[in-house]
Amino acid sequence: MSFGNGFKHEDSFEMLDEGYYKAKITATEVKKGKFGDYIQAEVEVEGHPNCNPHIFLLNDMPQKGYGSLTLEQAQKTWNRTMTTFFANFKITEGDFDTTHWVGKEGEITVREQKKNPQFNEIVPYKVKIVKKAEAKKTAADPTKEEDFPEDIPF
């Protein structure tokens, strides 16, 4: 075989910008990781057939606290996250047979990764995208007018 034999054109990935997208789950796989089992799911993003990111991860229920969260708080947060995920993709709540997830459609959020801000990640439901500059500005001035509902008299 000589150099270059077997070459076949492959399109490059389109990098998704931060924002909200409609997506369909196309494949799932349960994997084992350093911190326990997790689900890796691939999605097809509407209008973006060859995009990156195109995978999201869902960790299993935590078996110990996380950061400043106690075990009970971490599990409550995980339950809330999974409830939102099931509702978003119209999956029967508590159905962890991931073969049932394939073909389900929902809305995803593409946002900057917290640990590696040079990369974007998928959140498998709609969340508010907060830019670092916006978060700092809000934290610096907690009395900003939009932080208070207009219909409450002070």
Domain count of the chain? 1
Q: What is the pLDDT of residues 1-41, one digit of tens each?
A: 588 888 887 767 888 999 999 999 999 999 999 888 999 99
Residue 121 domain-assigned (yes or no)? yes
Residue 132 domain-assigned (yes or no)? yes
Quick one: what percent of the chain has pLDDT higher than 90?
Answer: 62
pTM score, whole prediction = 0.76
Instruction: Tell me whether residue 52 is exposed, middle or buried, using C-beta atoms within 10 angstroms of its C-beta: 0 to 12, 13 to 18, 19 or more.
Output: middle
Residue 35 domain-assigned (yes or no)? yes
122, 25 contact by CB (below 8 A):
no
Residue 3 domain-assigned (yes or no)? no
Residue 31 domain-assigned (yes or no)? yes
CA–chain centroid gap for 105, Å, is 14
Residue 4 domain-assigned (yes or no)? no
20, 122 contact by CB (below 8 A):
no
Residue 22 domain-assigned (yes or no)? yes
The larger pLDDT score, comparing residue 154 to residue 96, is at 96
Question: 103 is in which domain, residue-wise?
Answer: 14-147
Q: What is the pLDDT of residues 97-107, one digit of tens each?
A: 999 999 999 99
